[in-house]
Amino acid sequence: MSTLTQPRNASRRAGRDGSPAEVLTLGCRLNAFESEVMRGHAAGAGLTDAVIVNTCAVTAESERQSRQAIRRARRENPGATIVVTGCAAQVNPGAFAAMAEVDHVVGNAEKLAPETFARIAGRGAPLGRVAVNDIMSVKETAGHLVEGFEGRARAFVEVQQGCDHRCTFCIIPFARGNSRSAPLGDIVRQVGHLLAAGYREVVLTGVDLTAYGADLPGAPSLGQMVRRLLACVPALERLRLSSLDVAEVDDELFELIVHEPRVMPHLHLSLQSGDDLILKRMKRRHTRAQAIAFCEAVRRLRPEVAFGADLIAGFPTETEAMFQNTLALVGEAGLTWLHVFPYSARPGTPAARMPGLPGPVVRERAKRLREAGRAARDGFLASCVGATEDILVERPGLGRTGRLAHVALAGCAATGAVVNARITAAREGRLEGRIVP
């Protein structure tokens, strides 16, 4: 049950001067999608003079950044209604309700309900200061049509939500609930809607994307869903997959990755470590050898694929030798784009009770891992010089390749266009190119 009390400082209500509700997004691509859903609900409810902060709880640092964003939002918008939602609000609603800057704390299920924003806007029964229900009681993923993605050239589509696994470092299952999947018909309708709005690239996203379908009738796999989606929406030119678990990539998805040109040649892998004992202590489902074998198998059949990965530095009990296995994984798996997280304990997780490492050791290992990532990235970018690439233009003069490299473009093209460009140089972490006919 949610805890309901009246919001503090009721004079800071929506509708004072009529400016549209602003949405601040922290964290993952799924949050980015859900922010657009909330933006649409807020507009539909006529909610104005409000700032909605969509928080992240993946690390303790993420929660700290969420608090900073809330305080900054209040300083910059002293008369606005501040609504805090997202994963950090779901797992720790009391702490955010205790912040003087906050008017409403809304749970991850409630934030996707249109009536939540109608009540904040003064339509219907007033919304309490805290409206956060038990996320484990949510059984379905509702389809949400969004009109577009403000400031983005690509669009995200939520196809899966929640997680049934319990990695020892992760609080997210308690913020998102159990795994649940969107039916194919909802996904096809959403993608068709976005294509009609002019988007050329769609990203399928979820908390545990490769778990897709287990809860649906017939238990279709992610690979089956992607194949059917591409068949149902032949106009979809570019499909990108968010984070994958190598232990759950089925044969059908593998075949699409290596043979379907509409699936972008960039895969982001949830690896976390390159040491088998640490992976076991994390309760991950793959081994070091599986990660390397997967990358090798994909690259053998589609050599241009670039790999990204999430990696945690300084996990509890990690020795220098164990860390060296993770460092070596960058080269052995051929990783290009690294998301490096210095381990920070999340209260309520098993890893928080394990013997931790000194902060300076954790930070130093994260620094070395990032340096290895920059070297791998720079080597990859250098290899692109002289090639011709298809570029999705994200804003005038800047775009991304199918392998996710930023490109500074010479030549004119509209945001959202896909253009051919000759890559002329690589410097400072991105490519430079000239649009060609």
Residue 28 exposed, middle or buried by CB count within 10 Å (0-12, 13-18, 19+): buried
CA 392/CA 409 separation, integer angstroms: 11
CA 342/CA 365 separation, integer angstroms: 8
Q: Output the pLDDT for position 32.
A: 82
Residue bearing tokens 């996707």: 112
With CA atoms as reference, report the closest residue to 431 among 406, 411, 397, 401. Answer: 406
Q: Output the pLDDT for position 3.
A: 32
Rg (the chain; Cα; Å)? 22
Q: Output the pLDDT for position 108.
A: 87
DSSP designation for 244 = B
Q: Output the pLDDT for position 148.
A: 56
Q: Output the pLDDT for position 112.
A: 86
Prediction pTM value: 0.83
Q: Output the pLDDT for position 13.
A: 39
With CA atoms as reference, report the closest residue to 36 among 24, 47, 45, 27. Answer: 24
CA 104/CA 120 separation, integer angstroms: 8
The Cα-based distances of 419 to 88, 239, 264 in angstroms read 39, 16, 15
Digitized pLDDT (tens) for each residue of the chain, 437 residues in all: 333 333 333 333 344 467 888 999 998 777 888 888 899 999 999 999 999 999 998 877 888 899 999 999 999 999 999 999 999 999 889 899 999 999 999 998 889 888 999 999 888 788 888 988 877 666 555 455 555 565 678 888 889 988 999 999 998 888 888 899 999 999 999 999 999 988 999 999 888 999 999 999 999 999 999 999 999 999 999 999 989 999 999 999 999 999 999 999 999 999 999 999 999 999 999 999 999 999 999 999 999 999 999 999 999 999 999 999 999 999 999 999 999 999 988 888 999 999 999 999 999 999 999 999 999 999 999 999 999 999 999 988 999 999 999 999 998 788 889 999 999 999 999 999 999 98
Domains along the sequence of the chain with CATH = 22-133 (3.40.50.12160), 154-369 (3.80.30.20), 388-436 (2.40.50)
Residue 240 exposed, middle or buried by CB count within 10 Å (0-12, 13-18, 19+): buried
Instruction: Determine contact, residues 85/52, Cβ cutoff 8 Å.
Output: yes
CA 433/CA 422 separation, integer angstroms: 5
